[in-house]
Amino acid sequence: MNVLKRLSALSMVAGFTILTACGGNSGSGNTTAANGAANAPSSASPAAPSAPVTIEFWYGLGGKLGENMEALIQKFNASQQDVIVKGIVQADYSETEQKLQAAIATGQVPAAVLSSNADWARKGYFAPVDELMALEPDFNKEDFVQTFLTQGQVDGKQYFLPMYGTTQVMYYRKDTFEKNGIDASQLKTWEDLAAAAGKMTVKEGGKTTFYGWEPMWGSGNMVDAVLSKGGSILSEDGTKVTLDTPEWVETWDLFRKWIHEDQIMRIHSGGQGWEYWYKTIDDVMKGQAAGYTGSSGDQGDLDFSIVSAMEQPGWEGVGEGKPVAQAIMAGIPAKAGDAEKQAAMKWFTYFTNSENTATWSINTGYIAVRQSALEDPAFVKFSESNPQIKIPLMQAAHGSAPFQDPTGGKINDALTIAADKVQIENIPAAEALQEAQKTAQAALDKLK
């Protein structure tokens, strides 16, 4: 779950990293005469090879993630002679964001950062990368998971590139499903899942002793379900909050009913840090629940001899699920030199090629950013004995982009409060969402 904790922190931070530029512009070798004119060659000596361009890449990853990043940096440096990447590690994403601000102020920026911030792109702090992508013959942007690639676009230009991604998938106990005659591949809708959860739930003396499913505490799972039903958070023109529509009310009230009335599902809430998340996982791993909804980054913490994974379902009459699939993106500061920008793009292209994005997914549980990763030999071999690795990537192909809160978090805060009312307090969804709608709309109106 260390992966998840880093991911969750990352998804809440708008922009991340930068340090001092380590620039190393490439230069030409000097042509000199040997030992004076008498010994000079009859024609000019050939120019010495240009020195490699050295750049810094800033990232706020520690632990196993940091080790995997450093391994890829070393692999890249050994693979060619044009670019040398120096990895600069910060303690976390908050620290790197602070350093980014300082670097922009001084003009001493690195060439590559694990960072995405649309507002800073609009202010000119990041460089658009469309032309740089076109200069890389192996980039092949059509091969990217388009849900991820489009998240890096700002006002019609590509500013950030997806390095890896995450989405919330479903983990279930294989023995419980088999015992109850449930085929996970046939659970195409939330209605199907609720019926299966009811079948697997065990009650004694009117009290549930084994739960058919456990959604994760918070608004995230329920927002995913709303998006899959066709709901939205804002109107298309961005002027109206849309939290009180039937898609929202019907969906959230079903979750309330499953948790409080039917008691076929439950959530763990509160506690210290990620205690609720661990408790949810423990319920499934210790045989107290049939399954739960969690992060693709949980895969490193799960025993897949016990559990397996499946995509989030859709809704009857609507279609397949469209849960949020979020890209973790990198950018190039605008004040980097031209040679450094090109070097940074070479590094990004290498990191995201089919082989490396597949390896990153295998080693971390995060989602590969290219569709072709599904055909990578190592990925194919790993997926034969670990089929769960393919589920997040397959789901991301039809996922929704994460919501960018124009109010600086006030709409998301309103959703968090409403989710607690529904999940914990058993307050009808219509009541909770109408209040959230009023609060969120007032915050949005202040921007006019």
pLDDT recorded at residue 94:
62
- Confidence grade of residue 298 (pLDDT, cut at 50, 70, 90): confident
Regarding pTM above 0.85, the answer is: no
- 14-38 confidence digits (pLDDT tens): 333 333 333 333 333 333 333 333 3
- Confidence grade of residue 49 (pLDDT, cut at 50, 70, 90): low
Return the percentage of the chain with pLDDT > 70, whole number: 88
Which of 29-33, 142-146, 160-164 shows the lowest mean pLDDT across its residues?
29-33
Q: Over range 371-383, report the average pLDDT.
A: 94
Return the percentage of the chain with pLDDT > 90, whole number: 74
- Confidence grade of residue 62 (pLDDT, cut at 50, 70, 90): confident
Examine the pLDDT at 345 and tell me if it is beyond 70: yes
Tell me the C-alpha to C-alpha distance, in Å, between residue 182 and each of 173, 187, 319.
11, 9, 21
pLDDT recorded at residue 9:
41
CA distance 282 to 296: 16
Q: Over range 204-223, report the average pLDDT.
A: 96
Examine the pLDDT at 391 and tell me if it is beyond 70: yes
CA distance 359 to 367: 10
Q: Over range 41-57, report the average pLDDT.
A: 69
pLDDT recorded at residue 341:
98
Which of 20-24, 166-170, 341-345, 393-397 shows the lowest mean pLDDT across its residues?
20-24
Joined tokens for residue 24: 């190393």
How many other CB atoms sit within 10 Å of the CB of residue 106? 10
Structural domains for the chain: 2-29+50-166+328-396 (3.40.190.10), 167-325+404-445 (3.40.190.10)
- 65-123 confidence digits (pLDDT tens): 889 999 999 999 999 999 999 999 987 666 777 888 899 999 999 999 998 888 889 99
pLDDT recorded at residue 101:
83
Q: Give the 3-state DSSP-derived string for the chain, with helices as H, strands as E and coil as C.
A: CHHHHHHHHHHHCCCCCCCCCCCCCCCCCCCCCCCCHHHCCCCCCCCCCCCCEEEEEEECCCHHHHHHHHHHHHHHHHHCCCEEEEEEECCCHHHHHHHHHHHHHHCCCCCEECCCCHHHHHCCCECCCHHHHHHCCCCCHHHECHHHHHHHEECCEECEEEEEEEEEEEEEEHHHHHHCCCCHHHCCEHHHHHHHHHHHCEEECCEEEEECEECCCCCHHHHHHHHHCCCCCECCCCCCECCCCHHHHHHHHHHHHHHHHCCCECCCCCCCCCHHHHHHHHHHHCCCECEEEEEHHHHHHCCCCCEEEECCCEECCCECCCCEEEEEEEECECCCCHHHHHHHHHHHHHHCCHHHHHHHHHHHCCECCEHHHHHCHHHHHHHHHCHHHHHHHHHHCCCECCCCCCCCCHHHHHHHHHHHHHHCCCCCHHHHHHHHHHHHHHHHHCCC
pLDDT recorded at residue 40:
38
Q: Over range 140-153, report the average pLDDT.
A: 93
Most confidently predicted of 86-95, 252-261, 267-276: 252-261
